[in-house]
Amino acid sequence: MRQTAGWPTQAQALRACRVLFGPEVRLSPEFLRLLSPEGLKAAYRRMVLRHHPDRSGGGAAAFLQVREAYTLLDAYLTGGNGNGRGLRRPRGGSTGGGRAAGLFHRGPVPRRPLPLGLYLYYRGRVPYEAVLEALAWQALRRPRIGELAAARGWLTAAQVARVLRAARAGGRFGERAVTLGLLARAQVQRLLAEQQARQPPIGTYFVERRLLARDELEALARDQRRHNRGLRTGGPGPPGEAWSGPP
């Protein structure tokens, strides 16, 4: 991803978010509006730990892509060299009482289906920075597609390495494996479903960091499901990332 001269566009910023936050995050202009410098830095630190050649044993291409994505998003949020053109952050404020300092939402919950992390934010229970950190925490703990494919005997170690080397061509691991003729699309879909099933529940992050008590989170997760079913049926909440208990 090469940054063009001048002010980064929204499309460029969203592509950079995909690099730093992964394919599972629902990206939108609202995501950019709510993204804070602190949340951006947290995601960047985690991706650096994941892709740094000295730690991961991988090549430099992915690490450089992470750095470029961070640089572009930092410019998009701050307006470049402090020129004040950065995005406005939503109203909110820091709070004490044992809760992590950060940006808390004040106002009604949007009338649209929400994954659990965003629902907790819009209920004013966790800061937005914590939602971003929870997504990054979850992404780093989910098994990789190449590892799952190798465990099923669908790819050899040499074939996994071949797909990884094709990263310069762009696209996700599964897409590259299909292009190379190593996996069928149906196999990739099964691997993605397995990856999602085996990732830790996002709510675990908030409990482990003591941002929410376990029973409090369970009650909020029930509220989130009702919220989403109500929007779908017109009654009092599609389910989002509902917390399903400890991993």
Last residue of a domain, one of 59, 89, 119: 89
In this structure, is the dihedral angle defined by the CA atoms of residues 103, 17, 28 and 230, taken in order, positive or negative?
negative
**Overall domain count for the chain:** 2
Q: What is the CATH number of the domain that holds 58?
A: 1.10.287
Q: Quick one: 2 and 27 in the same domain?
A: yes
Q: Tell me the C-alpha distance between 154 and 161, whole Å.
A: 13
- Reading the block at residue 21, the tokens are 């936050």
Of 150 and 21, the structure prediction assigns the larger pLDDT to 150
Assigned domain for 155 exists: no
Of 178 and 130, the structure prediction assigns the larger pLDDT to 178
Assigned domain for 207 exists: no
What domain range is 2 assigned to? Answer: 1-89
| Residue-level pLDDT at 205 | 93
Q: Quick one: 73 and 106 in the same domain?
A: no
Q: Quick one: 8 and 84 in the same domain?
A: yes
Of 139 and 149, the structure prediction assigns the larger pLDDT to 149
Query: How much is the pTM?
Result: 0.56
Q: Tell me the C-alpha distance between 34 and 214, whole Å.
A: 26
- Averaged over 229-239, what is the pLDDT? 58
* Statement: residue 99 has pLDDT above 50: no
